[in-house]
Amino acid sequence: MDKISNNEIKRIRSLREKKFRDALGLFVVEGEKMVAEAMESGLEVETVLRRDEIGPEAMARISSQNSPSPVLAVVRKPAPCSHPAKGLCLGLDSVRDPGNLGTILRIADWFGVECIFASPDCVEVYNPKVVQASMGAIFRKPVISCDLPEKCREFRSSGLQVYGTFLDGDDIYDSPLGTGGLVIMGNEADGISPAVGAECTRRLTIPSVGGGAESLNVSVACGIVLSEFRRR
């Protein structure tokens, strides 16, 4: 295509907002690698736009990045899915920062987590910053918005542990860990909520050696915790 209409520019720009992503069932990915992964993912790729086809000015208008990438795709969101209480899964309790969620998706992908369950007040997985920070993991790991305390109860009913990460938990390096279960990571400022904490069967902490920092970033903590699960 040689040009892009103003109406199409407005439509793509609107996908920066959750209400329009929800209404249209679409989201945007940017960059050669991300667009390639989107096209290989099995999701419906509605449009692929290239800077050398529409021009740098038009690409700058539709891109959400400070330095627009050479290619952008509009992708249809997958249909909602479910996942049984099995395997090693993550539960995210009110994780609000898009960069954290995107990084957690990459970590979950790296360590072979089966599914991510997110409380309804987590940042939306199709937020452009989450999509970019996931580096393609968004196409490989399902993120299911759910009632997290209820999901904890499902895992417990299946005979699996629900591991919560707390500042006052038991040292993860001295604690028994299973090959499956639900690992809960909490809000950046407040940690795990009381409602979810009440459903945890094991309370874990990453011990501080230096003692200077009050806490770890939630995505960093997630990587350490999952690494220890897989090391076992």
How many domains does the chain contain in total?
2
What pTM did the predictor assign?
Answer: 0.93
pLDDT digits (tens, 9 = 90+) for 144-176: 999 999 999 999 999 999 999 998 999 999 999
pLDDT number for residue 1: 44
Please say which residue of 49, 76, 103 terminates a domain.
76
Question: What is the CATH classification number for the domain harbouring 13?
Answer: 3.30.1330.30
pLDDT of residue 3: 78
Position 211 pLDDT exceeds 90: no
| DSSP string of the chain, one letter each residue | -----HHHHHHHHHTTSHHHHHHHTEEEEESHHHHHHHHHTTS-EEEEEEHHHH-HHHHHHH--SSS--SEEEEEEPPPP----S-SEEEEESS---HHHHHHHHHHHHHTT---EEE-TTSPPTTSHHHHHHHTTGGGTS-EEE--HHHHHHHHHHTT--EEEEEEEEEEGGGS---SSEEEEE-BTTTBS-HHHHTT-SEEEE---SS--SS---HHHHHHHHHHHHHH-
Is the domain of 124 the same as that of 203?
yes
CATH code at 216? Answer: 3.40.1280.10
127-141: average pLDDT: 96
Residues 113 and 150 in one domain: yes
Residues 105 and 166 in one domain: yes
Question: Domain ends where: 54, 76, 98?
Answer: 76
For residue 175, tell me if it sits in a domain. Answer: yes
